[in-house]
Amino acid sequence: MNKVNPENRKHISEKQSRMSNLELLRCIAMMMVVVLHYLGKGKILSALTEPMPGSYEAVAWILEVFCIVAVNAYMLISGYFLCTSTFKMSRLLTLYLQLWVYSVGVGAVGILTGIFPLAEVEIHDLLTLIFPVSMGHYWFLTAYIYMYLFLPFIGGMVQKMSKKQMQLALGFLLFFFCILKSILPIRLEMDGQGYDCIWYLCVFLTAAYIRRFGMGIVNSWKKSTCLYVISCLIIFGVTMGLHQFYLHTGSLGRMIKISLEYNHVLTFLASLGLFGIFLHVKVSEGFGKIINRIAPYTLGVYLLHENLTLRYAWQNWFGAAKVNSIPGLLWSTVCAVVIVFVAGVILDMVRARIMKGLHVLFSKMGIYQRLVSVVERIDKSL
């Protein structure tokens, strides 16, 4: 057996540690996503067009503000890794199959168990389960898949662009799809609020820029922490300010939650801050191995709890409808996050094992072998 040079071993260990820090962020970001869906779809967040009936609602909005960065953080992680990757047909097909299995499989279970009553199932619901990408069942995955399809063009472009070219392109994109909506007191007709492929492109290029050239505002742990915390506090202040303004004047009702949208400049900056924090986090080798083992299955958490048949049901399993105090809010939120996250990871591990077993089984079939061969040839040609 060849001996590993101590310097090489150190380099490998440092590389794994750097990857583990972003994989840790991936796990935390997914937990934040669960928090957002628990608070929002569990109807714990009070309507900002009405007075807040209790102090726990203010705490719920604080949690919402500090977790709203989760989706952008997840996008930044994807962009950070994808910008140096090449398009693989096998990766696209594997991802789509995973998405389809969850959409149809979990959807069928939800309907058969009565979680989503059969009497309420419409043709649109069935089409959403069967065609999850085209029907936008999981908007984040739809945006990701479209982004991945453009990777051969975007990835190559990113690698060839100079620093000034990237600054110019990123500056124009952020101005039109982030800054403009953040400074104008009106709703722009083409504003997708960050739920689209265009915003994913903006975040992707931002992550690619950070990886290639670095970015001053996130070049240290302290700067990143300040950026995250201060941006979140400003988001909360702006939101509550607009809330009070509406209560007294009845104006700007459509603008109250604008700073909580993914493509608002404050949310974007807060996301950069959180991402920057974890860029500088050092993860021990032992803990890193655990994180690296768990992180690939975090997507299963999203695909499970955001399935059409469960989307508005699971929150009440943790008592969302009964929350009426700060301790109750915090306890139920922690329980929901831990249980949903663990259940999603375990389920995706089981799914991966089953899919691997089916792959071995089908490998004995001629038609399957030919399909795999075609995909492998496409991957090698790219």
Answer yes or no: is 243 within a domain: yes
Q: Give residue 322's pLDDT.
A: 94
Domains in the chain: how many in total? 1
User: What is the mean pLDDT of the segment spanning 272-295?
Assistant: 95
Residue type, 261: E
In a domain, 307, yes or no: yes
Give 221 or 14, the one with higher predicted confidence.
221
Express each pLDDT in 93-104 by its tens digit.
999 999 999 999
CB of 320 closer than 8 Å to CB of 42: yes
φ, ψ for residue 134 (rounded to 5)? -65, -30
C-alpha–C-alpha distance, residues 169 and 116, integer Å: 45
pLDDT, greater one: 368 or 54? 368
- ∠ CA 19-24-30 to the nearest 5 degrees? 130
pLDDT number for residue 18 = 57
Q: Is residue 1 part of a domain?
A: no
Q: In this prediction, what percent of the chain has a pLDDT beyond 70? A: 95
Range of the domain at 129: 6-381
pLDDT band with cut points at 50, 70 and 90 for residue 271: very high
Residue 327 lies in a domain: yes
**Cα distance between residue 117 and residue 313, in whole Å:** 11
Residue 276 is assigned to a structural domain of this protein: yes
Question: Of all helices (H) and strands (E), which one includes residue 243?
Answer: helix 221-249
Other Cβ atoms closer than 10 A to 53: 9
CA atoms within 13 A on the CB side of 322: 8
Q: Let me know if residue 311 belongs to a domain.
A: yes
Task: Take residue 157 and report the two structure tokens written for it.
Answer: 């472009």
pLDDT attached to residue 85: 85
Asked whether residue 12 carries a pLDDT value surpassing 80, the answer given is no
Sequence-distant (≥ 6) Cβ neighbours of residue 273 within 8 angstroms: 69, 217, 218, 224, 225, 226, 227, 228, 229, 231
93 falls within a domain: yes
Summarize the confidence of residues 255-284 as an average pLDDT.
Answer: 96
What's the chain's average pLDDT?
Answer: 92
For residue 6, what pLDDT is reported? 43
Q: What share of the chain is helix, strand, coil (3-state, %, to 5)?
A: 75, 0, 25
Structure tokens at 270: 């807060």
Largest CA distance in the chain: 77
First to last CA, the chain: 34
- With bands split at pLDDT 50, 70 and 90, how would you rate the model's confidence at 75? very high
pLDDT digits (tens, 9 = 90+) for 132-170: 999 999 999 999 999 999 888 888 888 889 999 999 999
Tell me if 325 is assigned to some domain. yes
With 70 as the cut, is the pLDDT of residue 293 above it?
yes
Q: What is the pTM (predicted TM-score) of this model? A: 0.92
What is the separation of C-alpha 22 from the centre of its chain, rounded to a whole number of angstroms?
13
Amino acid residing at 14: E
- Evaluate if residue 13 carries a pLDDT over 80: no
